[in-house]
Amino acid sequence: MTRQTVTTDKIASAAGPFSAAVLGEFTFLSGQVAQDPATGALIDGDAATQAEQVLQNLTAVVEAAGKTLVDVVRVGVYLTDMADFAAVNSVYAKHFHAPYPARTAIAVAALPLGAAVEMDAIVR
């Protein structure tokens, strides 16, 4: 099977050797941090502000794959400080509605570009 990747000019270019998403029976989206699509720089702001940009970036990739957030079946949330969980969860709840995708939230030591939050997803 040939690997078909998804690209969009609505997010910053990849900061490494990976695709924004790979299509198949399921579409696997690479992690998104709060990069400004125009500059590629991490936006300023707290974890909630960054989570909003992350979800805008994730939405752009989902839409580039011809899907919507309703098609997301799993989300991975990575936080550098678990104290930000409630704030990030509040932003997340504005983008996803019942029935919710499965989700994990994991505390990590650091994220690319010094981000406070990163999210990846699987879409059907």
Q: What angle is formed at CA 123 by the lines to CA 51 and CA 17, rounded to 5 degrees?
A: 70
pLDDT at 116: 98
CATH of the domain at 28: 3.30.1330.40
- What mean pLDDT is reported for the chain? 93
**What's the domain count of the chain?**
1
Q: pLDDT tens, 65-115?
A: 999 999 999 999 999 999 999 999 999 999 999 889 999 999 999 999 999
Name every residue whose Cβ is closer than 8 Å to that of residue 87 and which is 6 or more positions away in sequence.
46, 47, 48, 51
Confidence of residue 1 (pLDDT cuts 50, 70, 90): low
Range of the domain at 65: 4-123
